Amino acid sequence: MNGTPSSLPTPPAMRAKRAPLAIRIIMVVLACCALALALAAAANLQAQSAYNQATASLQANLSASAKSTADWSTLAARQEQTDEQFAEAQTWNAVLLPQLKQLIAANSATSRTLTKRITAELKQQQGASSSTGSSDGSTQQPSASASSSSSQDGLNDEQRQQVQDLLKSNQSASPSPSTSSTAGTSTPTPSSGSSVKPW
């Protein structure tokens, strides 16, 4: 012995144990599922928000169209925005909850029906204005007067009744889509879906 400490063999470095392949695959699958659920929840939240805004606009437009002083040009522009909001709500239609999907579809159909009626009323109003402006003979005045008396607020009796039916149905609408029959056609009525949970 020369007084120097004897050199002992150093133990080999221990490697960190890796999880088995099956466990790693399961963890990856679970992470993907969690990501998919998060995306679906976000899509439902976005659709719910767009649906609430569109439904509020639809109800306001229905009320405005029932008034005798309805401005069809303004209503046409507002209805265009309402239809776009419903289209935005249906962007992620494949991952939406069934109840929310049905509510959006029902109110979207009602919105399209109102849009068609507003467009027809606007064309009728524009046609009546042009014919009244171009009338220069006394023989055309009775027809203009008759047109004014039959539709002084832009609505005939049948269309006015349709608007009243839509408003009444809207006030008593349940969360599930309902259908009201107007003029022989089936028209879904706006219903409130603010209580729908996206999770």
pLDDT for residue 21:
84
Two structure tokens written together for 134:
């171009």
Domain ranges of the chain: 43-127+158-167
Q: Check residue 151 and give its pLDDT.
A: 47
pLDDT tens figures, 50-84: 999 999 999 999 999 888 888 899 999 999 999 99
Least confident segment among 8-12, 58-62, 68-72, 106-110: 8-12
Which DSSP symbol is given to 189?
A: E
How large a percentage of the chain has pLDDT more than 90?
34
Give the CA angle between residues 162, 163, 166 to the nearest 5°.
85
The overall average pLDDT reported for the chain is 74
Give the single-character DSSP code of 59: H
Give the span between the Cα atoms of 116 and 182, in whole angstroms: 14
**pLDDT reading at 143 higher than 50:** no
pTM recorded for the entire structure: 0.56
In 3D space, the residue among 81, 80, 104, 82 whose CA is nearest the CA of residue 92 turns out to be 104
Beta-bridge partners for 172: none
Candidate from 149-153, 182-186, 188-192 with smallest mean pLDDT: 182-186
Which residue in 178, 176, 196, 198 sits closest to 92, CA to CA? 198
